[in-house]
Structure 1
């Protein structure tokens, strides 16, 4: 899959400074699904074009069954390696991550300016008519040229190809251009190659800041970006401002996921710990919060899935971090149901929605590994509150918030479990509500903080 961005700003080669990629030196980086390449087909003072090429490993793709519909051959024979999709959006974060934050060490004033750009996506899936691309990009100020051809000229009865040859022209900040592409490429494709959860709301709000709220297709963008999950759509919609009059603004409310991470960070900071385990670290969202805190001198993220750990490395942008940061952080594969000497010697541990991924009958193994063997002075456990599920009409009674959850506990179930574990292993435990508390259903998330008692 291919994306090219051209500028005629003088000197055009300043694009290299804005993207932090030298026009004279091609760069390559690893992705969970293959490799990404950044190179410059042309680089003169008058015209400079950067190309992002993503080479998807078809073997990795087939094993992951990303986007599979259940048809036997689809994981092996599909358009994902060739057509722009959320794979390309992920590669943009890896290859152009610093530019997407609006930073440029050598040209900070230029990063804040609007510049002329031309974008070309030669094969972009669009689940809708040709006008959909115009409805997405024209309100953002772009001149849009989009066309399709016959799927196969030898068989005209097959109709038009679902792929757009899309060209955009506009004068925008590079940061805004990359944010528009990051969000709208998977929206036009109407699919994501990974599981979409509440963390995706944060991405949508971060890269949609300043434009999505007022976009005429805001609801469609939100619905498609969040993979048609109604509970996530409603949570995202709560952060958009309605029309309260010209110039009106409403303070943004932190997402539930953001509130959870902030509550965990606050508990770990208050513990005074300097070494922290993130057990079941997932894509590294909590580690991203902890890493900038100078208090924490050693962080270890553990997860059972190598693929999830690869995404954590991408999200944390380890290759771009200063060495002093990288030396404080370790990501490693492991299971919480087996004793692991690597977990010993840490002062605090966090289990962020981990316990519910184990069968209840196997929780005793986690209890002995974490509280009995690793035995940190502080353990923070966060888990969904089952009663609060009634607030989500799209969640049928008896269903869990995640397909892999083996159970979800009410407050009357979680608190006795935590008290028993604390008593058995010599800890004291306190409880904290996280998120908006419903008078009858309680909070969406419940958190227990265990502190090792002195002998």
Structure 2
């Protein structure tokens, strides 16, 4: 993965001093997570071309991670895609330029706007070309985007997520690096490291002078910090002078919050609710809220991903001293592996789980739940495809791992089938903000054992 920087104009040669690299030597350093090479492929009075090349060490990146044995460390696009890993490995090598601190005699050039042409890729992104342009064009860049060449039919080539991006602008070298080090991870939508307050500091530092006025500021901040509590603590969205707008931002409830609150309230009113299984518990956000529900005697969080389960344990550990909190039991497992210890519980919860299962495997999965696990109640939530139009998503799925997303009619038909072919009756509900003609963003079904069964 690489970035090509071309500098044009009378003072192009000053760039080598701003990045503190000798244009006549190959720069090669091993950094944590990979190898950095910087080479000047052209060094003339009015044109300088520099190549920043990073080779990722996947084995090095797995050290000290709880999921070091996961095969996805070795079979992925991280070695060849420009990403947050690229930025992390390259950061130290271009630190002089990022921080705007060259030698004293060159400091006057920090604020000089050079004529730049930047090309980087391949970048794997789910953002549309329009969305990518909306990130760079407000900063003064002319944007060109080329899809990656893939050995597939033409119709599929257009859908390739690999893109090569070329930017042209008059920018300072410091601003150029700061823009890229913020926006590349936003476009890549992948973070290979734990996101905490350090990420807030980095965003404030690299976003200084441009992020606060960027029209996509909110999107950039949310994609950079991801977690709502971290976004709130950063106060980066609180810079509006209009207090009413600030209040609206803080009070607006996320769809995840809607889901968790609805599920918790449903659990509270179900007649059998002392033994709960949170299947596909992920980072433990729902599990944490269930731990405070009065009357629950047993709470089991089941998750197939060791990495997600470690995050859940860390989340739960922060709550152990809270009064009346029930510490859950963590189990490795999934719906594909039968576990007799989960039989005959009061409530099974599948919160945003079924859409991650291939449709042809759903029948067997639910046959197992209804005939072997036999909980008193089964709570299911899943996206409503009809509502995607409200999000202006057209036919796109809400998550790249979703195998399907059902319309309200499809969900109704599926629920009706199991009501007619099992010993359960069902109630359908919705979660989130209702929109006439499209329903709720999340569909919910509550299966309960028929009386006398």
TM bracket (short chain): 0.5 to 0.7
Match of 2:262 in 1: 263
- Which of the residues 417, 420, 439 maps onto 1:420? 417
Match of 1:339 in 2: 338
Match of 1:5 in 2: none
Match of 2:274 in 1: 274
Match of 2:185 in 1: 191
CA RMSD in angstroms comes to 4.6
Deviations 1:300-322 (A, max 9, x none): 11122222212222232x27624
Structure 2, unaligned runs of 5 or more: 1-32, 34-59, 104-115, 117-177, 204-210
- Which of the residues 427, 430, 439 maps onto 2:427? 430
Determine if the alignment matches structure 1 residue 288 to structure 2 residue 284. Answer: no
Deviations 1:399-446 (A, max 9, x none): 211111111111111112112212322111011111111111111111
Q: 1:313 to 1:81 in 2, by over 3 A?
A: farther
Match of 2:218 in 1: 222
Are 1:280 and 1:304, in contact at CA under 8 Å, matched by a contact in 2?
yes
Q: TM-score, normalised by structure 2?
A: 0.53
- Matched residue SS, 1:448: strand
Match of 1:315 in 2: 315
Deviation at 1:147, TM superposition (A): 4.6
Deviations 1:355-411 (A, max 9, x none): 111111111121122222111111110000011111122x342x2111111111111
Are 2:350 and 2:379, in contact at CA under 8 Å, matched by a contact in 1?
yes
Match of 1:297 in 2: 297
Structure 1, unaligned runs of 5 or more: 1-32, 34-54, 84-122, 131-145, 151-158, 160-183, 209-214
Q: 1:301 to 1:79 in 2, by over 3 A?
A: same
- Matched residue SS, 1:332: strand
Q: 1:323 to 1:298 in 2, by over 3 A?
A: farther
Match of 1:439 in 2: 436
Q: TM-score, normalised by structure 1?
A: 0.53
Are 2:357 and 2:403, in contact at CA under 8 Å, matched by a contact in 1?
yes
Deviation at 1:67, TM superposition (A): 13
Deviations 1:337-370 (A, max 9, x none): 2321121131011101111111111111211222
Determine if the alignment matches structure 1 residue 371 to structure 2 residue 367. Answer: no
Q: 1:411 to 1:129 in 2, by over 3 A?
A: farther
Are 2:238 and 2:246, in contact at CA under 8 Å, matched by a contact in 1?
no
Are 2:82 and 2:184, in contact at CA under 8 Å, matched by a contact in 1?
no
Match of 2:387 in 1: 388
Are 1:338 and 1:365, in contact at CA under 8 Å, matched by a contact in 2?
no
- Matched residue SS, 1:309: helix
Q: How many pairs does the alignment contain?
A: 289
Alignment of 1:152-191 (within 5 A): 188=182, 191=185
Deviations 1:136-170 (A, max 9, x none): xxxxxxxxxx55569xxxxxxxx9xxxxxxxxxxx
Match of 1:411 in 2: 408
Distance 2:280 2:93 in 1: 35
- Matched residue SS, 2:446: strand
Match of 1:4 in 2: none
Match of 2:157 in 1: none
